């Protein structure tokens, strides 16, 4: 309410953030597991006195640098830009509450950048011990970056005692901090194996390719049981009401949960398939499929986690439409148009029903609903309904439809919103 609304009709409902965030989180997890993969694979090459393995590590590092430091950095900036214009109120809250945590994370990120470039540029130029030390510094900085980000991002899902105390440490070490950290770390190791498949499958040396592909399969398969255990721990740590909402009462999440469940055995089967000696072209094709499968796997998890906060953007504190839980009664009494700062028409008249209805839609609905887009398309959801049916929808929000914020518009504002949905939107 305190910031202007960026009207993204088609891309509303979280489409833009879903596209950018999924790609960035995929790459950033690879940046953590991949760092460990680099140093341990270099250790393997030195231990076995294998120039071919060390040559593979060098080539893999080149891809690693390009993906994590170019595409990863660009999508990271993209996330900041997107969340700051889509939900500036929540972004502002995170910055003010965790300002020192952000500063700490950026220091770790700077160490990552410097150490990775030094690691890449000093292959065969410095002693093996020093080179490995630089690799370990990169991995330590990457893991600590995950440690900090995990505290901030997970806070939005389960703020825990912070809701009562307002204490920084209560918010940072929230109820899902540890299971989420282990879950993401094991996932990062598995992603290192997936990317390893891709680079290993391009080796022209059949014996080396077979050795490396089987080595990468261990990275994918070995942590899988620990990954599933941490996923169960993560699920168990969710508050009971949130658990009920995610796994039973949100119909649009259920297909995504099925995708996550189906991807689990496919990941295992794919890893086992890669471990079998196959021609190079089949190895490459399967490696590419596995990489896409990993993106769907991580994307489905992030979608479930993001959707699990509903109807909030910060659980039990700020609703997805940026209205604070403590402000609900006051806004309901005064009306949303008289409370919001960035509206140009506050009085509803017969001649401006469309305009004021659009404003009410932007303020209360646009954060979750698109207009003609793939996510929560308001025109599809209201297809076949009568305007009178919206009254039932409004009354059920926040109770029967617990995944939606309470409807806090006045009767006149509700009338304008209904007019806008049924008279101004193309069907």
Tokens 């440690």 -> residue: 147
Would you state the structure tokens that stand for residue 50, as one six-digit string? 């294998």
- Is residue 409 helix, strand or coil? coil
C-alpha to C-alpha distance for 202 and 280, rounded to whole angstroms? 7
C-alpha to C-alpha distance for 368 and 163, rounded to whole angstroms? 24
pLDDT one-digit tens code per residue, 136-150? 999 999 999 999 999
C-alpha to C-alpha distance for 174 and 132, rounded to whole angstroms? 35
Would you state the structure tokens that stand for residue 85, as one six-digit string? 């214009």
Spans in the chain with pLDDT lower than 70: 13, 279, 427
Contact 216, 197 (CB under 8 A): yes
Burial class (CB in 10 A: 0-12, 13-18, 19+), 89: middle
Whether the bond between 318 and the residue before it is cis, its omega within 30 degrees of 0, is no
For the whole model, what pTM was predicted? 0.91
Q: What pLDDT score does 253 carry?
A: 86
Q: What are phi and psi of 254, to 5 degrees?
A: -55, -45
Tokens 């740590």 -> residue: 237
Q: What are phi and psi of 311, to 5 degrees?
A: -85, 15
C-alpha to C-alpha distance for 79 and 75, rounded to whole angstroms? 6
DSSP 345: -
Among candidate residues 310, 194, 301, the one with its CA nearest the CA of residue 245: 310
pLDDT one-digit tens code per residue, 210-235? 999 999 999 999 999 999 999 999 99
Contact 325, 316 (CB under 8 A): yes
Q: What are phi and psi of 200, to 5 degrees?
A: -65, -35
Q: What pLDDT score does 10 carry?
A: 81
Contact 420, 352 (CB under 8 A): no
C-alpha to C-alpha distance for 331 and 351, rounded to whole angstroms? 25
Q: What pLDDT score does 13 carry?
A: 63
3-state secondary structure 370-381: ECCCCCCEHHHH
* 312, β-bridge pairs: 319
Q: What pLDDT score does 153 carry?
A: 94
Would you state the structure tokens that stand for residue 318, as one six-digit string? 């700020």
């Amino acid at each position: 309410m305190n910031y202007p609304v960026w009207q993204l009709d088609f891309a509303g409902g979280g489409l833009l953030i879903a596209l950018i965030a999924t790609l960035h989180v995929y790459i950033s997890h690879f940046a953590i597991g991949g760092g460990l993969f680099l140093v341990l694979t270099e250790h393997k090459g030195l231990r076995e006195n294998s120039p071919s393995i060390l040559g593979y590590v060098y080539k893999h590092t080149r891809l690693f640098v390009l993906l994590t430091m170019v595409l990863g950095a660009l999508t990271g900036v993209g996330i900041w830009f997107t969340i700051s214009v889509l939900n500036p109120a929540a972004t502002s809250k995170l910055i003010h509450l965790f300002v020192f945590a952000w500063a700490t994370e950026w220091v770790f990120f700077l160490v990552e950048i410097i150490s990775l470039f030094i690691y890449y540029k000093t292959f065969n130029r410095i002693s093996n011990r020093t080179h490995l030390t630089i690799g370990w510094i990169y991995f330590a900085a990457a893991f600590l970056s995950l440690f900090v980000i995990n505290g901030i991002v997970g806070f939005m899902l389960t703020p825990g005692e912070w809701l009562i105390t307002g204490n920084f440490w209560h918010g940072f070490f929230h109820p899902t901090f540890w299971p989420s950290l282990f879950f993401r770390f094991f996932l990062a190791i598995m992603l290192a194996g997936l990317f390893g498949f891709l680079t290993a499958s391009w080796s022209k040396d059949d014996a080396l390719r077979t050795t490396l592909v089987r080595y990468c399969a261990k990275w994918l398969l070995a942590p899988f049981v620990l990954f599933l255990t941490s996923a169960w721990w993560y699920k168990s740590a969710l508050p009971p009401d949130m658990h009920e909402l995610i796994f039973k009462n949100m119909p649009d999440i259920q297909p995504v949960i099925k995708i996550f469940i189906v991807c689990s055995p496919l990941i295992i089967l794919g890893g086992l398939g890669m471990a079998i000696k196959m021609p190079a072209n089949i190895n490459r094709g399967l490696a590419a499929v596995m990489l896409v499968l990993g993106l769907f796997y991580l994307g489905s998890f992030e979608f479930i986690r993001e959707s699990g906060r509903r109807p909030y953007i910060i659980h039990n504190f700020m609703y997805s439409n940026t209205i604070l839980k403590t402000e609900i009664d006051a806004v309901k009494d005064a009306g949303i148009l008289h409370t919001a700062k960035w509206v140009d028409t506050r009085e509803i008249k017969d001649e401006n029903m469309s305009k004021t209805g659009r404003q009410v839609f932007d303020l209360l609905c646009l954060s979750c609903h698109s207009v003609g887009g793939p996510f929560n398309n308001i025109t599809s959801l209201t297809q076949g309904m009568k305007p009178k049916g919206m009254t039932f929808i409004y009354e059920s929000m926040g109770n029967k439809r617990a995944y939606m914020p309470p409807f806090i518009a006045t009767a006149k504002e509700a009338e304008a919103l209904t007019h806008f949905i049924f008279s101004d939107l193309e069907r």
